[in-house]
Amino acid sequence: MKTHVTTTINRATVEFLCQPRQSLLEVLRDELSLTGCKEGCNNGNCGACTVMLDGLPVDSCLVLAVEAEGAVIETVEGIAKQGHLHPLQQCFLEGAALQCGICTPGFLVTAKALLEKNPQPSEQEIRFGLAGNLCRCTGYDKIVRAVQATSKASPES
Amino acid sequence: MSTEVADNTSDTESPATYKVIGTRPVRHDGADKVTGKAVYTDDLHVPNMVFGAFVRSPHAHARIVSIDTSEAEKMPGVLATCTSADLPDPWDKVDNLGEGCVNYAHLSGNVLARKKALYKGHAVAAVAATDSYLAQEAARRIKVEYEPLPATMSVQDAMKEDAPLLHDELITHTLGEEPARPSNIASHIQFEKGNIDEGFAAADVVIEREFKTATVHQGYIEPHVSVALWNEDGRLKIWTATQGSFVVRQQMAELLKMPVSQITIVPCEIGGGFGGKISVYEQPVAAVLSRKCGRPVKIMMQRDEVFEATGPTPASFMRVKLGATKDGRLTAGNAWLAFDAGAFPGGVIGPGAMCVFSCYDLPHATVDGFDVVLNKPKTQAYRAPGSTHVAFATECVIDELAERLEIDPIEFRLNNAAKEGTRRVDGPVYPRVGLVECLQAIQNSDHWKSPLTGPNRGRGVACGFWFNCGLKSSVTANVNADGTVTLIEGSTDIGGTRTSIAMQLAETLGITAEDVIPQVVDTDSVGFTDVTGGSRTTFATGLAAHEAALDIQEQMVEQAAKIWECSQDEVTVVNGVYQGNGKSLPFKELAVEADKVGSPIVGRGAVDPQGSTNAFAVNLVDVEVDPETGKVTILRFTVCQDAGKAIHPSYVEGQMQGGSAQGIGWALNEEYFYGDDGHMRNASFLDYRMPTCYDLPMIDTIIVEVPNPDHPYGVRGVGEVPIVPPPPAIANAIYRATGVRFFELPMSPPTVWNAIKGQTTGD
């Protein structure tokens, strides 16, 4: 028995059928081919599956897909617009803020949400804001710096 | 906690003599990885694919009495089951996988348990079904009857005479007389240099301490995952997350007893490895399930399976004794090291024993190392495998000696630092190495020169060593009609090596990094290439790329001579500009011309550099200890490392920072908690406490460049050694903050709190 769900994903209306037990992560990846969000733990510990759900960053592995009815979702695939990388993506590249890259989509979604809420965060606010996302490669130094660089370059500064 | 953004750019990099090397271009796979387009193994949906799941032992040690798959097989949608009976009888053959050896009998028994389950989580059977939920449900319906056996969970217990035996026929491999009875001691390694009695007799101060470290995991964010397709013509194709596609092919061929030519391994993007994604786990099982059901089978581990049933790095029990004279010269060292191998022989005791005194010029030393099996998952490499354990022991004793002798801890290390000509206890004599330069760079750093003040604060220093290796690498480089070069390589890119390798090709040819298009391809499409491990990839595959560039250059000269109607001897190449017969063209323009007149230009590079390139790192760390909770906060952290030559400094810094963060986690929080039943109690990222962004300060880096004479650009490799010094550097800092020395990892809040409390109450 599948449930029909209508959502907005990356600014487009998307309909899908899902089992009640399927997580949003599973539907995004397996049904909608939005494989940018990653499964690292499937229990909300690592943040690799972070997506925006109605304006808040959430671990999509902890959201049931049926709960997404009527929701507005943005995934990492929706961050770059009209063929242009978002400044945050650009700063991640220029600042070498990724190594293996598996956690990168989650960090980008979380960091973008952080900067939208607080365009000029302190280092501590950045570290607190990103603490739900695990990275095992970088030691976070260059990730924090990339967020700082994005913030410095933004029009508000 | 650092509140300022410290300038962490290197202050000792050599002046720019290169056009590409030493610059910081955007990585070639960057856009894919920031937009979610990069394809990792779990992102694959191979047509007609089905899903596999494991049945795992609930016991730490048990005889497998029977396995009944019949009920699972009756379920609609269940397509195949698999047990060890489906794998060929393993042969007792030892093979080199590049970074470490494997015995295929043990490997086969680890992939699927044969007569006994040797640790909790040991795979016993597997099933394939049309969806992953169904596969998991079917796995629960496979009935395994066990006869539980007593388990042994620590090296100290496992080494006892009356310990429960894991392997009934395991006789200690030793230089001395082989024991008559089996035991859990798989091997005993011994090294000896000079005369230790004489050495200790010459010492004014001798300190001996006992150390313990807990089991820790590499903690890569991507779980192990593979898709296997065993075709009706007998060909096997596997898409997988691995550090080395060719060593997966080699392991599959041996485990399944089929020729390597029948197997194609496609390395997808890999979400971290750190030594843990070299051995196979799910790959052979997915392959057998695919053969049985005729469809591609994907198996992805859950996070608890990754913790419980892949290869963490060992727990250890160590004694280190060092002697020194009043004027600060080390005279002798003795180390007794027992590492847990996990359930099968062959842990990382070998490199551990070789590294224990590797930072120092010790005239007299002995080392005894023991490889001990017990009822925990088979241990594997983790970034400088074995070296972090022994550095914790040695560097803490060194610090105590320096203190006792009232000598500055850096000066004491400088007095005794390994340098060119120093013979290690295991034999090799160092060529030119950079430990002294790293210690001096730390002495000259702003961090060292800035006094640390305030209560409960302390500063610590420590050194670390890792061999780094060469091994085999192949590349092919195709010159395109527009003058760019496509670089075909076999090294999986875990941290930006596409770019660091491409930059070396670009430098040699005199083109830009962006003019090179690096591609990591499958095992049918490039020559043999060893693992991305051993800090070898930028060094060895970079060397292959340099060779390919020289090959291209030779062919370009040939074409230039044809185009310009002169002899090849008259063509010169300076900084990528070709000149001859009064004419001159840069590489790219000449390549466009050459494309019109001659055969395609294809360069090849195939190398197998021998020996070590010898990496050293030094840490300086300031901590603050909360006396109420025992929590240790890292206030400031500087890592200095000899990179030989930093090809892409940002990614060198990244390795240094990432390795440091892992070392900090190992020092302060990470450990496997085991219950009395031998079950891991914290098999999740929430409870296995890796550092988050909020736990760390900025990690300042100082890159020292003492060129490696065996590489055209001086590269030594950088990946592993930064994990080594953090635990002892932090222990030494905590001592200065609290007055308590720590001999056990991790130095987690309860451990630290208890120790401080014991000190103040005199317990």
Return all residues near B151 (Cβ < 8 A) that are at least 6 apart: B59, B60, B61, B164, B374, B375, B677, B678
- A chain contacts of residue B538, beta-carbon cutoff 8 Å: none
Q: Are residues A96 and A130 in the same domain?
A: yes
pLDDT at A156: 55
Q: Are residues B205 and B281 in the same domain?
A: yes
How much is the ipTM here? 0.98
Does B710 map to a domain? yes
Among B578, B607, B636, the domain boundary falls at B607
- The CA distance from B625 to B458, in Å, is 8
Residue with structure tokens 């220029």?
A: A94
pLDDT at B761: 59
Q: Are residues A73 and A8 in the same domain?
A: yes
Does B173 map to a domain? yes
Nearest one of A154, A148, A132 to B8, comparing CA atoms: A148
pLDDT at B560: 97
pLDDT at B128: 98
Cβ distance B693 to A133 less than 8 Å, yes or no, reads yes
pLDDT at B567: 97
8 A C-beta contact, residue B225 and residue B282:
yes
Q: Are residues B297 and B218 in the same domain?
A: yes
Question: With an 8 Å Cβ cutoff, is A126 touching chain B?
Answer: yes
Return all residues near B539 (Cβ < 8 A) that are at least 6 apart: B468, B470, B609, B613, B644, B708, B711, B715, B716, B717
- A chain contacts of residue B5, beta-carbon cutoff 8 Å: 123, 145, 148
Among A78, A100, A119, the domain boundary falls at A78
Q: Are residues B166 and B229 in the same domain?
A: yes
- Distance, first Cα to last Cα, chain B: 31
Q: Residue B232 is which amino acid?
A: E
Q: Are residues B285 and B402 in the same domain?
A: yes
Name the domain count of chain A. 2
pLDDT at B10: 41
Nearest one of B307, B319, B273, B466 to B387, comparing CA atoms: B466
- Angle (nearest 5°) at CA B726 between B722 and B730: 165
Q: Are residues A7 and A69 in the same domain?
A: yes
Nearest one of B587, B408, B404, B592 to B505, comparing CA atoms: B587
Half-sphere exposure of B38 (CA within 13 A, CB side): 29
Residue with structure tokens 């690096």?
A: B518
Among A28, A61, A78, the domain boundary falls at A78
- The CA distance from B397 to B658, in Å, is 26
Minimal C-alpha gap between B24 and chain A (Å): 8
- The CA distance from A155 to A153, in Å, is 7
pLDDT at B710: 93
8 A C-beta contact, residue B397 and residue B476:
no
- B chain contacts of residue A144, beta-carbon cutoff 8 Å: 693, 698
Q: Are residues B487 and B548 in the same domain?
A: yes
Q: Residue B403 is which amino acid?
A: E
| Closest Cβ–Cβ partner in B495, B686, B694 for A99 | B495
Domain with residue A128: its CATH number is 1.10.150.120
- Angle (nearest 5°) at CA B538 between B537 and B540: 60
Q: Are residues B448 and B570 in the same domain?
A: no
Interface of A with B in 53-112 (CB under 8 A): 75-77, 79-80, 85, 89, 92-96, 98-105, 108
Element holding B622 (H helix, E strand): strand B615-625
What does the buried/exposed string (b/e) look like for B241-263 if buried means 16 or more CB atoms within 10 Å of the residue's CB?
A: bbbbbbbbbbbbbbbbebeeebb
- The CA distance from B721 to B469, in Å, is 12
Q: Residue B693 is which amino acid?
A: C
Q: Are residues A54 and A19 in the same domain?
A: yes
Question: With an 8 Å Cβ cutoff, is A43 touching chain B?
Answer: yes
Cβ distance B133 to A39 less than 8 Å, yes or no, reads no
> What's the token pair of residue B211?
């150390």
| Closest Cβ–Cβ partner in A36, A77, A134 for B685 | A134
Residue in A closest to B37 by C-alpha: A36
Does B106 map to a domain? no
pLDDT at B688: 97
- Look up the domain containing B620 and give its range: 1-16+432-465+613-763
Does B27 map to a domain? no
What does the buried/exposed string (b/e) look like for A100-111 if buried means 16 or more CB atoms within 10 Å of the residue's CB?
A: bbbbbbbbbbbb
- Angle (nearest 5°) at CA B3 between B2 and B5: 90
Cβ distance B27 to A138 less than 8 Å, yes or no, reads no
Q: Are residues A98 and A71 in the same domain?
A: no
- A chain contacts of residue B660, beta-carbon cutoff 8 Å: 139
Q: Are residues A43 and A65 in the same domain?
A: yes
Q: Are residues A124 and A58 in the same domain?
A: no
For an interface test with A, the pick among B32, B34, B306 (most A C-beta atoms closer than 10 Å) comes out as B34
Does B73 map to a domain? no
pLDDT at B15: 45
- The CA distance from B667 to B625, in Å, is 14
Question: With an 8 Å Cβ cutoff, is A38 touching chain B?
Answer: yes
8 A C-beta contact, residue A41 and residue B305:
no
Domain with residue B636: its CATH number is 3.30.365.10
- The CA distance from A38 to B37, in Å, is 11
Q: Are residues B700 and B553 in the same domain?
A: no
Q: Are residues A12 and A71 in the same domain?
A: yes
Cβ distance B3 to A124 less than 8 Å, yes or no, reads yes
Phi, psi of B125 (to 5 degrees): -160, 170
- A chain contacts of residue B219, beta-carbon cutoff 8 Å: 136
Question: With an 8 Å Cβ cutoff, is B219 touching chain A?
Answer: yes
Return all residues near A72 (Cβ < 8 A) that are at least 6 apart: A7, A8, A52, A53, A54, A55
Q: Are residues B418 and B507 in the same domain?
A: no
- The CA distance from B244 to B625, in Å, is 42
8 A C-beta contact, residue B646 and residue B10:
yes
Q: Which residues of chain B have pLDDT under 50?
A: 1-15, 762-763
> What's the token pair of residue B559?
């074409």
Q: Residue B706 is which amino acid?
A: V
- The CA distance from B278 to B265, in Å, is 13
Q: Are residues B230 and B373 in the same domain?
A: yes
Cβ distance B5 to A79 less than 8 Å, yes or no, reads no
Name the domain count of chain B. 3
Q: Are residues B237 and B382 in the same domain?
A: yes
Does B686 map to a domain? yes
Q: Which residues of chain A have pLDDT under 70?
A: 155-157
Does B30 map to a domain? no
Q: Are residues B505 and B409 in the same domain?
A: no
| Closest Cβ–Cβ partner in B34, B222, B691 for A93 | B34
Return all residues near B394 (Cβ < 8 A) that are at least 6 apart: B320, B322, B333, B335, B356, B357, B359, B360, B728
Does B299 map to a domain? yes
Question: With an 8 Å Cβ cutoff, is A153 touching chain B?
Answer: no
| Closest Cβ–Cβ partner in A100, A123, A136 for B690 | A136
Q: Are residues A15 and A57 in the same domain?
A: yes
User: Angle B104-111/B283-293 helices, nearest 10 degrees?
Assistant: 70
Q: Are residues B361 and B417 in the same domain?
A: yes
- A chain contacts of residue B699, beta-carbon cutoff 8 Å: 139, 141
Question: With an 8 Å Cβ cutoff, is A131 touching chain B?
Answer: yes
- Look up the domain containing A25 and give its range: 3-78
Among A78, A105, A135, the domain boundary falls at A78
